[in-house]
Amino acid sequence: MMKITRISKDEFGQMLLATGIVLLMSLLSMAIFSVKLAGMSMPYEPNSTGVLDVSQEVLATIEPVTQARYEMWVEQGIDEEEAAVLALDSVNNDLLHHGELRGVEVKLIDIQYTETTEGVEISFNLGVSDDDARLEVDYSFILE
């Protein structure tokens, strides 16, 4: 024989409240999962400014610093193209160290040296990244 129990009005309200809380928690968990899943296609934070700041600093200083080091090597009697390679290599090493101090990775990629009538043209791809953002910029200048 089956035992029948009657639920009083107070117990009925508590059951309804518990059901609502369980439903709300499951909806909240699905919403959080959906937001995380939607964010998987964007591996970088769009509002990060560290990468922009560092890349602006690098682009503002790389040409004059490389030019000064290039002139120093040429004055020492080194061939112009070799002096350009040495100058940019030393600047690249400094940028790597600077990036480590700032928590940003700075790399010069696909460096190309071309002798022209004006001097040595250097072109490269500047890559700057951190945990939140990544930026790549094509850049070139001429060492005279």
Structure tokens at 58: 């690098």
The predicted structure's pLDDT at residue 50: 78
Picking from 104, 124, 111, the residue whose alpha carbon sits closest to that of residue 54 is: 104
The predicted structure's pLDDT at residue 113: 94
Predicted TM-score (pTM) of the model is 0.65
Tell me the CA end-to-end span of the chain in Å, nearest whole number.
103
The rounded distance, in Å, linking the Cα atoms of 56 and 50 is: 10
Structure tokens at 109: 């990629």
Q: What is the mean pLDDT of the chain?
A: 83
Structure tokens at 84: 């350009």
The predicted structure's pLDDT at residue 26: 85
Residue 3 CB coordination number (10 Å): 4
User: Residue 5: what are its φ and ψ, rounded to 5°?
Assistant: -115, 145
- C-alpha distances in Å from residue 11, one per residue of 18, 34, 46, 96, 119: 11, 35, 50, 67, 89
Give pLDDT tens digits for 68-117: 999 999 999 999 999 999 999 999 999 888 777 778 889 999 999 999 99
Give pLDDT tens digits for 43-75: 555 556 778 888 899 999 999 999 999 999 999
Confidence bin at 32 (pLDDT 50/70/90): confident
The rounded distance, in Å, linking the Cα atoms of 127 and 108 is: 6
Confidence bin at 18 (pLDDT 50/70/90): confident
The predicted structure's pLDDT at residue 109: 92
Taking each helix axis from N to C end, the angle separating 50-75 and 80-102, rounded to the nearest 10 degrees, works out to 150
The rounded distance, in Å, linking the Cα atoms of 128 and 78 is: 31
Q: Do 110 and 26 touch, CB atoms closer than 8 A? A: no
